Structure 1
């Protein structure tokens, strides 16, 4: 018969839902609580094991010394969760109890700005009460709004479409924006996030967000030139000299100039930790040694204050979708924020590169997205007013900088026709890259075709073998389309097309990397190929068309190339946005 099922009761904050009764919304994301497991009526249980619905695995069996056991709970988000508890007796017999509990949403942001106004102040969208808003004043010089808003194309309730806007800042003109008073109490826990697109990444410091003290900023989120990467900084004191220490966390990778990146700073006063996030991914943390101090000054965008009390470290580039909370966001909440979910539950995507060869001749293709990433073509590559022609030997095109941040979500689409005749003489295993971003040892990501062998050509009538009566098809080159990463030694990870096929006619290919789930997906003519595959992003450099570091040049023609910041979230959105 085994032990009685374990009895689960609340120890603090959260309560098990009662069947047919109450099911209270309590606590909040990242707010700790606990549950206690008690022995059943017969008291024969000797060990417990448990698993929350957000855990990947069961806990180790824990011996019961005093008849009960208490475990902590730290919900990653709001919502309804379950807790499974197993009790085991001395004979190894197991009984299980499952309870559910609800976590209420965390407190709303205390500031949110999207810079989508036509002119004037940047309105705080976190509240509809004008008396509670923290609107941003834009400097008269060095600031403007651009059509490079990270949310991309917006659709109004009446169906009208407009382009989202972002705040553009000039470093030389000391562009900045600021609130009249403090937005967040820096003596308590808080979180700040923003999308940033830096124009450079040299040896000078660049500030995205900060808040004023009398002499220094209580925090700054941006780029540290001494280590050439994103960073978060919290000085221990608001001093007029350079005394005191600064808590600092550096990002794991260098930024990619010209590409949208999501940044997040979390200050948790309960755990005395400061955390840095890039594209929703935790970069590290530092201990808060001294007590946090309160900064009574305004929130600063694009600049920070240091010991001398003057502003410095102006940001060159664009900033968008800034948000401030008076609480620490959990890692899951930060990943969700970086996903930038928009209308209808789909991710917001911004077109950051578009190359349409129709009507264009010469040695380069302009970037139709407005981001200015011109595609320069090799002298052997043809541009005939209809397609980019690639001979498969030494033809290619390239840009000076990456089009997207490789560690953030992105989508790439292309329409390509392969010169099938040139595949006959290629050995099996030949890989021909259509496009991608490069590393020194291959691609950080790419779309490519792999020849796998000769297959039956079922598109033409077979002949009959006079001796055996068998149908004999003509043999043609066959292969697979891939989206993923390919190293110079031929290794890598990718999602491939589901069937070996002969690449005849134009095919539409779409690759998606979702940084929130760390998975990749491939679509051919709008149809998803296989399931999403786990994928670890790597940092690349320039963007290339028609070749890869593995030496595989593509023979064929390309009629469309488009790249978006953000991950299209399924076949319907791929169809709506890409069109193939």
Structure 2
């Protein structure tokens, strides 16, 4: 027993000795694993600058041969830093970290008495309790250096040749005109500037070298008082105090050339609101119908022949600089390439705006400087607003169709095109080509950026109110339209409820039945869910063109068991559209058939969950079809979302009457609504999203 014990003890001793002999020193710390205040290790010209005494760090490793399964390979770090003080004496500081496992990052927060503006160097090594690694700067390693900067940079200065301060020029052109702001600082260690314009944009711009000035471009999108605030950032990350530069921006300046093309029938030239009058070829006929909802009164029709054109016989603008060209157009055909506007260069046009035909179908197009943007879907006999823009500041071209940008901007390099501006044709090598066949109205040329809000305004067609039914009264079964138009006829279990009809108060009379208050105003239409509905004498909206229709509705039950239609308008065989409640999804749906045929499949094109039933205040539902953008949207209480927006490239014209409270089901009527309806409002044209917010009240929204 004694011999065995001794043997065991001897074996244990030998094992321990062998482990100690086999221990390898830790790995030399790698330069890429070292940081000075969170910044990579560097020295010389790349020495790190820090705004406070930094926390140094290093990742330390033990060799893989030492990583026994039962061991954690504990390591500590030994940091050393040194510098030369003002007297030429070398100062040193050192620090040993706590013990952590191999692969951990070890830290040393430097003392607060470090000298400022002095190069401080440091290195580190690992210690496993038995041996130490080489220093991090041994061999192929490198020392790390930093400078503690305790001084903020001075406040920057700001100037702009295009947008001087109000002390110099109070109001300056203007929206769509770039300004360039030069920012500088007296401090020679500034490397970047953070900036922000009132209302945006915001950002950071880096100087080419420490202390160099920078230029910040700015495109005003709105008029009014503006300001630019800037802070200088030095190489340590310290910030200056904020500098502010105030300036005032005018509204966007008028076009440099404009032909409204509303000249009297028989005219042989087009008057210019700005610029030079345009002579007309004999294939140009004035006095045609203008796009509804615009400021245009009449238009010109071009017959697509060699005589169908207008030209001022001079250029409208230098297309190498920023410019925009726009027009209202209505093609009479879409099977060939046609030009709305261009400007002559030698043997070719400098740019073209118009319709580009291809095998897959026609697209609207803007071509300039080797670039072509295409998009949208031209339709014969349908008005569209086109705007092509070349932005010389960015070197990119843009195309807008009906107020919306088509695709992404593309780089372009326009050449000189000092020839005549053309309406309805484009220059070719042997003459003019791609002649426009159709109507044109209000051609404008700007020598600046036409900003997106202006594009939308130019392309907006003001909707026309078709009917507003308050549903607060009924005489002989008909509820009047506010302006004396066609009334809505009540039928079956439909009646108008008015608050004044109540003769009891539930809180006082226990036998009085509670009735929810009117939805809007003094009354609303109450429908029994079995046979009640209201209808117009015919179609109210043209479903083949842009339209808007809205209603306020309150379901009678908190959880209805079957689908119920609030609004519908029939075609010959089925509904062109209907807005209904769908129980399984508890949502409002916009439903449309694929075609006007008996039994045609229905498609839910838009849907918004969150239908409200019971005694609530009701919900506002609005359908907006924009034929110009081929989209249809369903709004709930003034808002829409992606699920409630759908593509509708080909709306068809319905001939049936508008229905309130029922829809077509098979060969007859069904989906009767059990609930209350109020404030039916209908428009020819698509209301903008912001206008929809005002729909559903006793008054019509201001379409300003």
Same fold (TM over 0.5): yes
CA deviation after TM superposition for structure 1 residue 264, in Å:
1.5
Structure-1 residue corresponding to 2:435: 313
CA deviation after TM superposition for structure 1 residue 216, in Å:
4.0
The structure 2 residue matched to 1:448, chosen from 575, 579, 588, is 579
Counterpart-to-counterpart distance in 2, 1:500 and 1:65: 66
Q: Name the CA shift for 1:77/1:570 in 2 (closer, same or farther; >3 Å).
A: same
Structure-2 residue corresponding to 1:51: 196
Counterpart-to-counterpart distance in 2, 1:519 and 1:5: 55
CA deviation after TM superposition for structure 1 residue 210, in Å:
2.5
CA deviation after TM superposition for structure 1 residue 193, in Å:
0.5
CA contact (8 A) 1:352 1:403 kept: no
CA deviation after TM superposition for structure 1 residue 254, in Å:
3.1
Counterpart-to-counterpart distance in 2, 1:433 and 1:384: 10
Counterpart-to-counterpart distance in 2, 1:554 and 1:136: 61
Counterpart-to-counterpart distance in 2, 1:291 and 1:142: 30
CA deviation after TM superposition for structure 1 residue 339, in Å:
1.6
Counterpart check, 1:542 vs 2:675? no
Structure-2 residue corresponding to 1:71: 215
CA contact (8 A) 1:450 1:480 kept: yes
Q: How does 1:118-517 map to 2 (within 5 A)?
A: 118-121=264-267, 123-127=270-274, 133-137=276-280, 139-141=281-283, 143-152=285-294, 164-171=297-304, 176-186=308-318, 188-189=320-321, 190-202=323-335, 204-212=336-344, 215-226=347-358, 228-234=362-368, 247-268=370-391, 273-278=396-401, 279-281=403-405, 283-289=407-413, 291-296=415-420, 298-301=421-424, 303-316=425-438, 318-325=439-446, 327-330=447-450, 332=451, 334-340=452-458, 348-349=461-462, 386=537, 403-404=545-546, 412-413=548-549, 424-426=560-562, 434=568, 448-451=579-582, 500=613, 509=622, 511=624
Counterpart-to-counterpart distance in 2, 1:383 and 1:530: 24
CA deviation after TM superposition for structure 1 residue 70, in Å:
1.3
Q: Structure 1: which 5+ runs fail to align?
A: 155-162, 235-245, 342-346, 361-381, 390-396, 405-410, 437-444, 455-477, 524-528
CA deviation after TM superposition for structure 1 residue 9, in Å:
1.8
Select the structure with the greater relative contact order (CA < 8 A; seq sep ≥ 6): 1
Q: Per-residue displacement from partner, 1:293-313 (whole Å, max 9, x unpaired)?
A: 3214x5223x33433314443
Q: Name the CA shift for 1:247/1:65 in 2 (closer, same or farther; >3 Å).
A: closer
CA contact (8 A) 1:512 1:567 kept: no
Counterpart-to-counterpart distance in 1, 2:432 and 2:191: 65
The structure 1 residue matched to 2:228, chosen from 83, 108, 111, is 83
Counterpart-to-counterpart distance in 2, 1:285 and 1:505: 44
The structure 2 residue matched to 1:29, chosen from 155, 160, 176, is 176
CA contact (8 A) 1:339 1:566 kept: no
CA contact (8 A) 2:259 2:443 kept: yes
CA deviation after TM superposition for structure 1 residue 258, in Å:
4.1
Q: TM (normalized to structure 2)?
A: 0.50
CA contact (8 A) 1:259 1:403 kept: no
CA contact (8 A) 2:233 2:239 kept: yes
Counterpart-to-counterpart distance in 2, 1:490 and 1:299: 46
- Give secondary structure in 2 for the equivalent of 1:336: helix
Counterpart check, 1:110 vs 2:110? no
Counterpart-to-counterpart distance in 1, 2:205 and 2:392: 33
Q: Structure 2: which 5+ runs fail to align?
A: 1-149, 469-480, 489-532, 571-575, 592-601
Counterpart-to-counterpart distance in 1, 2:378 and 2:393: 31
CA deviation after TM superposition for structure 1 residue 215, in Å:
4.8
Counterpart-to-counterpart distance in 2, 1:92 and 1:385: 71
- Give secondary structure in 2 for the equivalent of 1:145: strand
Structure-2 residue corresponding to 1:567: 688
Between the two proteins, the alignment pairs up a number of residues equal to 452
After TM superposition, the structure 1 stretch with the greater mean CA deviation from structure 2, 101-110 or 565-574, is 565-574
Q: Name the CA shift for 1:142/1:259 in 2 (closer, same or farther; >3 Å).
A: same
